Amino acid sequence: MNILIFGIGALGTVYACFLKKKGHRVIGLSKKPVQEAVRENGVQVTGIWGEHHAVLDEVVTGVDKISDAKLDLVIVTVKSYDTEKAAAEIAGILSTDTYVVLAQNGYGNFEAAAKHIPENRLILGRVIFGAETIGLGMSKVTVIADDVIFGSPKNLIDHCKVEQFVAVCNEAGIPTRFSKQVMKYVWGKIIYNSALNSLGAILEVNYGKLAEVEHSRKLMESVIGEIFTVLKRIGQEMLWPNSEAYIKDFYEKLVPPTAMHHPSMLQDIQRGKRTEIDALNGAVVEMGKKYGVSTPVNDIIVSLVKAKEKMSLLRK
């Protein structure tokens, strides 16, 4: 297959490396410093899935630089606030056989991409293994909580077509499965991240510590409760019947395997980068405003993360 990995960050590096090793033609797209490093040294993956290295067929800084842009699959791994820009670029090289997988964090990626790419070409991915950047084009896989889920949010793509891409990923060594209810899985992850990633970034602790202390537990439960109320209001079904059921799973099943995980938003803040807060608690607050649901805890968390973001930039 001809595959473009749009964004060679922590996640894109893993996809590029594993798909290339399986023999596909893999093109990487990234900003200048990463592009140069990956062109020179290839991509490298370490961590729980072993040591891997691959040299990509091409590494470019824009889709117009691709020598032969007849693509079967584009996997988008840019930050959520860059999704729309990436989608606009991809739209320019979309052939009748190209499908696009959105493998990012947070709410709004599908909606942003659909402004430029037909919905019957967009596959939404729920990625729930953890990868950290340890260098340019170098990633460490730290944890896997469940398979990646691929699906068409409104089931506008033939099931067999999606299964084809699911098989490609599985064969390459990235556990993946199809679901007709991908949006439910994506929301599950948004809730998980809105509770742990944001509060962990504010308090500068790992996920386990947040679940250990009474006052941070109370705050996380409020975050989760508010999101369930918003989702109920908009009619979005969930994998859990109510927030109590989610909270039980959260402490018993979701947090323990990721207890040592450090919040990616804290890493973003410490590096003076923008966080994905707008696609997490921020998206919940916006939905709450639109549908008349009060979300004070998520609102204050957004303000605190944004204040930290800004203060970190002022220090630079």
Instruction: Pick from 57, 84, 306, 316 the residue near a copy of itself by CB under 8 A.
Output: 306
101 binds a copy of itself (CB under 8 A): no
158 contact partners, CB below 8 Å, separation of at least 6: none
Is 248 assigned a catalytic role?
Answer: no
Select 139 or 295, whichever has its Cβ closest to a copy of itself: 295
Measured between alpha carbons, how far is 173 from 15 in angstroms, rounded to an integer? 10
307 binds a copy of itself (CB under 8 A): yes
219 contact partners, CB below 8 Å, separation of at least 6: 199, 297
218 binds a copy of itself (CB under 8 A): yes
Measured between alpha carbons, how far is 3 from 114 in angstroms, rounded to an integer? 20
Q: Taking the complex as a whole, how short is the minimal distance between the CB of residue 143 and a copy of itself, in angstroms? A: 21
Measured between alpha carbons, how far is 208 from 253 in angstroms, rounded to an integer? 12
Instruction: Pick from 68, 212, 237, 244 the residue near a copy of itself by CB under 8 A.
Output: 212
259 binds a copy of itself (CB under 8 A): no
Q: Taking the complex as a whole, how short is the minimal distance between the CB of residue 309 and a copy of itself, in angstroms? A: 8
How many helical (H) and strand (E) elements, i.e. helices and strands, does the chain have? 12, 12
Greatest C-alpha distance within the chain: 56
202 binds a copy of itself (CB under 8 A): yes
Instruction: Provide φ and ψ at 299, rounded to 5°.
Output: -60, -45
Instruction: Give the pairing type, strands 2-6 and 73-76.
Output: parallel
Q: What is the DSSP letter of 124?
A: E
274 binds a copy of itself (CB under 8 A): no
Window contacting a copy of itself (CB under 8 A); options: 2-10, 93-101, 189-197, 203-211 = 203-211
292 binds a copy of itself (CB under 8 A): no
140, 184, 189, 308: the catalytic one is: 189
What is the set of active-site residues?
A: 189
Contact residues for a copy of itself, defined by CB under 8 A: 202-203, 205, 209, 212-216, 218-219, 222, 296-297, 300, 303-304, 306-308, 310-311, 314
